[in-house]
């Protein structure tokens, strides 16, 4: 893919009227606990509650008029689904959304609220893809893939552009990885704007295909994944892996316990709501998985869509 900083900056101009420029927050308490200077890019405050608004909006508004009028389609566990539904509504076109049957209720309600037409499927990657193929055949809609689409990646990369415009002297950036869309955009933008920066991907140990792929130097498919971070259940995309090999310095994994602790710590300390997937980078700090001490660290909090009836620290 020809993803570069120019494409990301072009995406930023295209989506600017439709997104928030989200804040970068700090916490003296978390800095003291970690021995580093932490800068949290708060995409939990983004439209639809997640960074996905950026990529989906860029992809939808990049379509020519004839293509757009046939509608768009995707498969997603939630945030991309809501983001694509919103972007389609803004452009006045249909959005057909394939969602796993176990998708969080809060994310299903968000898709419905933006007018997305939902088709449920079995909760695995192959079922999602097969259902999406059927929907596209029936409707003529254009696939806007959650992470393998170049326009989606370019839109996601605007997160890092904003972060580095505000905090230009970062030593490293921590970013979650599922399919690899936001990681690719982040890595390309960060490495181009600040060549000496380190980009570290973080993912749950129970969904470790990116780490395994990175270590083995070939794309590894993981059939069964188990993690509370539902946004990271997808397998790494092939075009994403190629960019990750070129631009990402390392991929580390974290435990479920660390994800829950990270999520709760940020809720309690920073007084903001983040979802489990967004807590994964800070979990890498808690488990000492990266060289962060005495460094200036950017942490991308990717989203804040949480089922408040099923918080991970609640006792039944």
- HEC assignment per residue over 208-242: CHHHHHHHHCCCCCCCCCCCCCHHHCCCCCHHHHH
Beta-sheet pairing, 250-254 with 296-301: unpaired
**Average confidence score pLDDT of the chain:** 95
Phi, psi for residue 303 in degrees, rounded to 5: -170, 170
Helix (H, G, I), strand (E, B) or coil at 118: strand
Do both 138 and 153 map to the same domain?
Answer: no
Least confident of 96-105, 259-268, 299-308: 96-105
Do both 43 and 129 map to the same domain?
Answer: no
**Residue 310 in domain:** no
124, 143, 162: which is the final residue of a domain?
143
Measured torsion, CA atoms of residues 204, 208, 212, 214, in degrees rounded to the nearest 10: -60
**Residue 316 in domain:** no
Whether the predicted pLDDT of 193 surpasses 90: yes
Domain harbouring 218, CATH code: 3.40.50.1100
Do both 271 and 244 map to the same domain?
Answer: yes
Taking only the tens place, the pLDDT of each residue in 3-33 is 999 999 999 999 999 999 999 999 999 999 9
Taking only the tens place, the pLDDT of each residue in 85-103 is 999 999 999 999 999 898 8
Contact 284, 174 (CB under 8 A): yes
**Residue 221 in domain:** yes
Whether the predicted pLDDT of 39 surpasses 80: yes
107, 123, 143: which is the final residue of a domain?
143
Do both 165 and 292 map to the same domain?
Answer: yes
Whether the predicted pLDDT of 187 surpasses 70: yes
Q: State the total domains in the chain.
A: 2
Residue 316 is predicted with a pLDDT of: 43
Q: How many CB atoms lie within 10 A of CB 123?
A: 16
Residue with the bigger pLDDT between 105 and 291: it is 291
Do both 113 and 41 map to the same domain?
Answer: no
**Residue 155 in domain:** yes
Whether the predicted pLDDT of 204 surpasses 50: yes
**Residue 212 in domain:** yes
**Residue 314 in domain:** no
Helix (H) or strand (E) holding 100: strand 95-100
Question: Which tokens hold the place of 258?
Answer: 């660390």
How confident is residue 298, by pLDDT bands cut at 50, 70 and 90? very high
Q: Please give the average per-residue pLDDT across 225-235, as a whole number.
A: 91
How confident is residue 80, by pLDDT bands cut at 50, 70 and 90? very high
Contact 255, 263 (CB under 8 A): no
How confident is residue 2, by pLDDT bands cut at 50, 70 and 90? confident
Do both 115 and 253 map to the same domain?
Answer: no
Do both 155 and 128 map to the same domain?
Answer: no
Do both 266 and 217 map to the same domain?
Answer: yes
Do both 96 and 208 map to the same domain?
Answer: no
Percent of the chain at pLDDT exceeding 70: 99
Q: Give residue 216's domain range.
A: 5-50+149-301
309 contact partners, CB below 8 Å, separation of at least 6: 105
Global pTM reads 0.94
Contact 200, 250 (CB under 8 A): yes
143, 178, 203: which is the final residue of a domain?
143
**Residue 315 in domain:** no
- N-to-C CA span, the chain: 47
Do both 127 and 233 map to the same domain?
Answer: no
Contact 199, 173 (CB under 8 A): yes
Whether the predicted pLDDT of 276 surpasses 80: yes
**Residue 40 in domain:** yes
Q: How many CB atoms lie within 10 A of CB 118?
A: 15
Residue 315 is predicted with a pLDDT of: 58
Do both 170 and 287 map to the same domain?
Answer: yes
Do both 263 and 156 map to the same domain?
Answer: yes
Contact 49, 303 (CB under 8 A): yes
């Amino acid at each position: 893919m020809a993803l570069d900083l120019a494409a990301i900056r072009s995406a930023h101009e295209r989506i600017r009227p439709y997104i928030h420029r989200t804040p970068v927050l700090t916490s003296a308490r978390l800095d003291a606990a970690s021995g580093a200077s932490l800068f949290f890019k708060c995409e939990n405050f983004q439209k639809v509650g997640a960074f996905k608004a950026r990529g989906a909006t860029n992809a939808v508004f990049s379509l020519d008029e004839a293509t757009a009028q046939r509608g768009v389609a995707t498969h997603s566990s939630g945030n991309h689904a809501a983001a694509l539904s919103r972007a389609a509504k803004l452009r006045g076109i249909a959005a057909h959304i394939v969602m796993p049957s176990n998708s969080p209720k809060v994310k299903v309600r968000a898709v419905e609220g933006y007018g997305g037409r939902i088709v449920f499927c079995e909760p695995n990657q192959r079922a999602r893809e097969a259902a999406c193929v059927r929907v596209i055949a029936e409707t003529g809609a254009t696939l806007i893939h959650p992470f393998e689409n170049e326009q989606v990646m370019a839109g996601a990369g605007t997160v890092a552009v904003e972060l580095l415009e505000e905090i230009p002297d970062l030593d490293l950036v921590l970013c979650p990885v599922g399919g690899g869309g936001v990681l690719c955009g982040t890595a390309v933008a960060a490495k181009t704007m600040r060549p000496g920066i380190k980009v570290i991907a973080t993912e749950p140990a129970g969904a470790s295909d990116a780490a395994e792929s990175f270590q083995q130097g070939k794309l590894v498919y993981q059939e069964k994944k188990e993690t509370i971070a539902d946004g990271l259940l997808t397998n790494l995309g092939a075009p994403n892996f190629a960019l990750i090999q070129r631009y990402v310095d390392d991929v580390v994994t974290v435990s479920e316990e660390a994800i829950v602790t990270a999520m709760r710590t940020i809720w309690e300390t920073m007084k903001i709501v983040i979802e489990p997937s967004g807590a994964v980078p800070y979990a890498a700090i808690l488990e000492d998985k990266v060289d962060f001490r005495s460094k200036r660290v950017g942490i991308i909090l990717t989203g804040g869509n949480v089922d408040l009836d099923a918080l991970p620290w609640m006792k039944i």
